[in-house]
Amino acid sequence: MLEKRKIEKRRKDEDLFKVVDSTLDPKTYVNLENIASRLDIETYLGSISSGKEAKIYPARTYDGKYYAVKIYYVSTASHKRAVERYTLGDQRFEKIKISNTRQLIYTWARKEFKNLKRMHEAGVRVPEPIYVYENILVMQFIGENGVRAPLLKELPDEEIDNNLYSDIISQLQLMVNKAKLVHGDLSEYNIMVYDGVYIIDVSQSVPIDHENAMDFLIRDINNVNRFFESKGLSIIDTEEILKTLEIPNREE
Ligand SMILES: Nc1ncnc2c1ncn2[C@@H]1O[C@H](COP(=O)(O)OP(=O)(O)OP(=O)(O)O)[C@@H](O)[C@H]1O
Ligand SMILES: [Mg+2]
């Protein structure tokens, strides 16, 4: 009986990781197992994206719900540099004593979680953050049955219109005026379209009083404008959009 249960358990563990690739380190595997029990996850499915800093996996729960699981790579030099650049000058993170790269990555994951939370609470359409542990962030899955929604970049031209543009500008206004955050990497690659837009990838987002906030904000708006302009749509000038945003100590 005991033997049978063990075999059943083992079979279950194999199922849990069936399609997760072997590039993940052992510690990450253990963490994924713990997260699975905590969140009732039955299976982690194959990665849907390998970006510069992380991989994203859909996870299916026993009752058929999906989560998006973002697993940050634990060590790359460029990652380390980026973390240093963005967390310095961000008062919320200055107190954290960063001892090694792993800790930097954990800080990065926690930062994305906190930024998502702050935006979500302010009513910005971002994936709802569910859980963060070390280099793993669990959030609402944007898409259907484990199939992710398209990025703005991937949307067919006929679906790109002024409503979408206004939606994005509204999200930007909520982000700055309510959440008091600047995205810092906003573009057609970090906007998903699923019954309206979802803003994603907010690990680098900074408070509006951050020393680089204004530069990031202008770049974000320019990126969005450039994309919609390239589709032949009318846009609002960056200067006009800036006037609708509440930015501290802005020199006119
Ligand atoms: N909540 C989510 N639900 C579904 N898919 C998601 C979700 N978050 C991210 N993705 C998918 O995973 C991709 C990578 O996510 P994200 O941009 O957060 O990571 P990244 O490592 O910064 O990637 P990149 O370097 O490509 O920007 C997205 O382009 C999107 O296709
Ligand atoms: Mg991205």
Domain residue spans in the chain?
A: 13-144, 149-243
- The ligand 1 site (C-beta within 6 Å) comprises 48-49, 51-54, 56, 68, 70, 127, 139-143, 148, 151, 189-190, 200-201
* Residue 25 among the catalytic residues: no
Give the C-alpha separation, 201 to 177, whole Å: 19
Compute φ and ψ for 161, nearest 5 degrees. -140, -175
pLDDT tens for each residue of the chain, 252 residues long:
545 554 455 456 667 876 656 678 888 999 999 999 999 999 999 899 877 889 999 999 999 999 999 999 886 555 556 666 666 667 676 555 555 788 889 999 999 999 999 999 999 999 999 999 999 999 999 999 999 999 999 999 999 999 999 999 999 999 999 999 999 999 999 999 999 999 999 999 999 999 999 999 999 999 999 999 999 999 999 999 999 999 887 655
Q: According to the model, what pLDDT value does residue 240 have?
A: 98
pLDDT of residue 111: 97
Q: What is the CATH code for 13-144?
A: 3.30.200.20
What would the two tokens of residue 67 be?
Answer: 């989560």
Atom of ligand 1 nearest to the CA of 190: 17
Encoded tokens for 78: 């460029």
Ligand 2 center–CA 186 separation, angstroms: 9
| CA separation for the pair 118, 122 (Å, rounded) | 6
In this predicted structure, what is the pLDDT of residue 248? 86
Degrees (nearest 5) of the Cα angle 220, 221, 225? 120
Query: Which is the CATH superfamily of the domain at 149-243?
Result: Transferase(Phosphotransferase) domain 1 (1.10.510.10)
Question: Which residue among 185, 195, 209, 237 is the active-site one?
Answer: 185
Would residue 185 show up in a list of annotated catalytic residues for this protein?
Answer: yes
Residues with Cβ–ion distance below 5 A, ligand 2:
190, 201
Which numbered ligand comes closest to the C-alpha of 192? 1
Closest residue by CA, ligand 1 atom 24: 51
Q: What per-residue confidence (pLDDT) applies to 113?
A: 98
Distance (Å) from CA 188 to ligand 2 centroid: 9
pLDDT at residue 51, rounded to an integer: 78
Task: Write down the pLDDT at residue 216.
Answer: 98
